[in-house]
Amino acid sequence: MQLYLTFSSPFARQARILVQEQKLNSVATERFSHPFHNEDELLCSNPLGKVPFLSLDNGISIIDSEIVCAYRDKRLGDGRPSQPLNDHWELQTLHSVCSVLMDTAVHLQMEKLRTREGLRSEFWRKRYLSAIVRSLDYLEKNLTALPRTLSLVHINLCSALSYIDFRHENIDWRLKHPQLTLLAKTLEAKESFTSCKLHE
């Protein structure tokens, strides 16, 4: 089983942290494949042309980070980080907000790269940035929905925040979000998180 990934992908980071948490290193190998290189193996296994996805030994692909994490957790691990999400709609909403926050931060980065091509859109830059700021405020207010034990939502949230640090250092999210700051500081100190830092 191989996880197709880049090491700068916050989506892939979630799946990598989960491997550490569930101690799945012996069954989970990693395969670097930059989506913009359009490798045949990647495009044949994932029609979306995105990473991460999990290529199983039987040829089936598990696509999208949320599904990859759920598969790794429930099928290969003990399922504990997924468990609090069951029938907990508020927590599932928090999970989705974190995923789309991550998506928006990635889009903002893509918009920066378009600057180099002279194609930058001020409309989209501002729209992405405003959505990020509002989502951070929302998360700060709604952290009480998080369970006490480590869940997929904790991993998702920290991956989003670490990506903002990695690509958007001008967004000083710690300034007005003490609860998020404390949570990120605590989780990022764990071995499973430090061993999966984002890098190029």
Q: Distance (Å, rounded) from C-alpha 146 to C-alpha 153?
A: 8
User: Which is nearer to ligand GSH, 43 or 178 (by Cβ)?
Assistant: 43
User: At 45, is the secondary structure helix, strand, or coil?
Assistant: helix
Tell whether residue 106 is a contact of ligand GSH (CB under 6 A).
yes
CA distances 42 to 32, 51, 58, 170, Å, are: 10, 9, 16, 33
Q: Assess contact for 15 and 156: CB atoms under 8 A.
A: no
DSSP character for 176?
A: T
**Which residues are bridge partners to 29 per DSSP?**
2
CA distances 53 to 49, 121, 174, Å, are: 10, 30, 31
Tell whether residue 49 is a contact of ligand GSH (CB under 6 A).
yes
> Which residue has 């003490």 as its token pair?
178
Smallest gap from Cβ 122 to ligand GSH, in A, equals: 22
Tell me which residue of 132, 90, 126, 94 sits closest to 111, measured CA to CA.
126
Q: Distance (Å, rounded) from C-alpha 146 to C-alpha 45?
A: 34
Smallest gap from Cβ 131 to ligand GSH, in A, equals: 16
Tell whether residue 168 is a contact of ligand GSH (CB under 6 A).
no
Strands 29-32 and 2-5: parallel
Tell whether residue 64 is a contact of ligand GSH (CB under 6 A).
yes
Smallest gap from Cβ 37 to ligand GSH, in A, equals: 10
- Pick the binder of ligand GSH from 13, 19, 35, 111 (CB under 6 A): 35
> Which range, of 43-51, 83-91, 138-146, 178-186, touches ligand GSH by CB under 6 A?
43-51
Tell whether residue 51 is a contact of ligand GSH (CB under 6 A).
yes
Tell whether residue 34 is a contact of ligand GSH (CB under 6 A).
no
Smallest gap from Cβ 117 to ligand GSH, in A, equals: 16
Tokens representing 48? Answer: 């979306």
User: Which is nearer to ligand GSH, 52 or 81 (by Cβ)?
Assistant: 52
Tell whether residue 50 is a contact of ligand GSH (CB under 6 A).
yes
> Which range, of 63-71, 130-138, 141-149, 182-190, touches ligand GSH by CB under 6 A?
63-71
Tell whether residue 11 is a contact of ligand GSH (CB under 6 A).
yes
List of residues contacting ligand GSH (CB under 6 A): 9, 11, 35, 49-52, 64-66, 106
